[in-house]
Amino acid sequence: MTDMPSWGAVPTPSGTRFRLWAPDADAMSLSLPDGEHAMNATGDGWFELTTKAPEGTEYTYRLPDGHRVPDPAARLQKGTVHGPSVVASTSHDWQHDRPEKGWHEAVIYECHIGTFTPEGTYKAAMDKLPHLADLGITVLEIMPVGQFGGDRGWGYDGVLPYAPHPAYGTPQELRALIDLAHAHGIMVLLDVVYNHFGPDGNYLHMYASRFFDADRQTPWGAGIDFAAAPVRRFFIENALYWIRAFNLDGLRLDAIDQVRDPASDPEFLIELAREIRTTVDRPVHLTTEDNRNVTHLHERDGPRTPLMTAEWNDDWHNAAHVLLTSETEGYYDAYADDPTGLLKRAMAQGFATKGAGGKGTSSAHLPPDVFINFLQDHDQVGNRARGERLTMLANAQQLQVMQAILLLSPHIPMVFMGDEWDETNPFLFFAGFEGDLARAVTEGRRREFEHFGSFSSDNVPDPIDPQTFERSRIDWSKTQTTPGRAALSHFHELLTLRRDRIVPMIPGTGPDCGRVLDAPDMCFAVDWHLGGGVLSLRANLSDREVDLPPANGERVYTSRDAPGAAPSAAFWIL
């Protein structure tokens, strides 16, 4: 397989090669500053032209009806998603080696670049890397940056998935952020969206309607037709582009339950993972979000990872959330009857339910580092009507106990930006659309919550109001308050213990490592038989002191003087 991408503007020794799949068009032209250039039809709907167009050259594609459209595989845009694309270099003078860390060492910090700092830029994020490194974070996970309509948004409605959004800075500044993270021993994952395109600036339907599955809609837009080879190449090359051109340590694949490809063998996601594994000669971590609770993409071959590395475990989050808040509306209803039992099962086995549509499979045979557990993430906070964090919803002592359980269990922990100082600012849904689309988003957001009994839909913050975006910034000044310093100290203590004592135990763990012992409601007694010994948890989230099963070995952490106190968590190592 050639290293030359199928899609986009690629500089070569003989000029820049422009290539576009436009099966609905009988002719295509390339618009450059010096005029129109007819492109060559090369078969199967592809059009190609190699011509002089150095780095910085603006270009568009001209359709037979006269419309000019940006390159869907543009590496850089001049301005908005509706304007011209720009020939861009992918070279960078990398100064630092990638961290030599195994996946089992991962502690993930999810952040949205636009609200992570007051400035909301890659450059400003660089100044916060020492904070993350000192805290004990080993993985920075960045929410999607592929260009989307408007100047603010979560990133999941991108339409130019190769082009970093200019609202955050330049591609070179993003590379500099990744390079400096590596200098601090932090790996970097980027969230990518391969399940749909956003509503503003998607021109593919004008010349490549076969890109989409006419018979399927996702919750966010038209489904993608992954049976079409050019479509598969578009996304596989996108993954490889981010990994190679930005020196990323991996990707997080959004909502892969909507990446449906039943007719292909192999299915798209398997082909993507295999190509990355066989063409990138270094460790790459591929994590997934998938509400089906299936395991075929995450099976391990001994210590080897043939396909995907790890999966976000919604079961763990949902059960923990119900325990902490007693909320049972929406998807939390499935956890209302027995949140304690479901959380115990998630701790011991990974998945606790059959997932969406009852498609899930047993996961107890997988090692614990296949599962990414979290108390908060962008979805679980931001998809609330008012974006409240657990600091505003849960008992503070119980939340502290659950933080210890999250950070010291053998699964991969993930925290959301600001969790480390118990941030209280909301993270709201926001977008920068204009006109009719903006009005539709505002009205749709209100309709989404009109059936929830806990508040009036009229009080749902308007996603289009710039203040909704501004309110979602985390407040770094809280790191200097007495409560903020105490929370940071607790996080640092837990992550230091995890690094020094828990992480070395994880390699070599065999199947069915978790054992649940009998304990009262809202209490946990779990033993994990890991490759390096036995890790035991005893925890009480109730409001009464209880007797818990004894644990053997050295007690390495306790949140209270007496295990079994209310509330409390303690860990032992044997």
Q: How far is CA 554 from each of CA 377, 409, 502, 549, rounded to the nearest angstrom?
A: 33, 16, 12, 15
Query: How much of the chain is in helix, strand and coil states, percent to nearest 5?
Result: 30, 20, 45
458 annotated active-site: no
Work out whether strand 523-530 and strand 533-540 pair parallel, antiparallel, or are unpaired: antiparallel
Give me the sign of the Cα torsion angle 437, 443, 445, 447. Answer: negative
Give, for 362, the enclosing helix (H) or strand (E).
none
Report the alpha-carbon distance of residue 58 to residue 79 in Å, rounded: 11
Residues 311, 287 contacting (CB under 8 angstroms): yes
- From the list 383, 105, 166, the residue with the least C-alpha distance to 255 is 383
- The identity of residue 198, as a single letter, is G
Q: Which listed residue (200, 249, 289, 419) is catalytic?
A: 289
Q: Are strands 250-253 and 285-288 parallel, antiparallel or unpaired?
A: parallel
Using CA atoms, how far apart are residues 194 and 144, in angstroms rounded to an integer?
A: 11
Question: Which residue in 157, 249, 254, 422 is the catalytic one?
Answer: 254
Phi, psi of 336 (to 5 degrees): -70, -35
The helix/strand/coil state of 571 is strand
* DSSP H helical ranges for 252-313: 268-279
Q: Give CA–CA dist 494/462, Å, rounded.
A: 38
Q: Which residues contact 320 (CB under 8 A, 6 or more apart)?
A: 339, 343, 375, 402, 406
Distance of CA 558 to the CA centre of its chain: 31
**What span, in angstroms and rounded, lies between the C-alpha atoms of 236 and 277?**
12
Task: Using alpha carbons, select from 559, 513, 515 the residue that is nearest to residue 540.
Answer: 559
Active site residue 289: yes
DSSP state of 473: S
Furthest-apart CA pair in the chain: how many Å?
80
> Which residue type occupies 501?
R
Strand residues in 63-126 grouped as ranges (E):
68-69, 85-86, 108-111
Q: Which residues contact 265 (CB under 8 A, 6 or more apart)?
A: none
Residue numbers annotated as active site: 254, 289
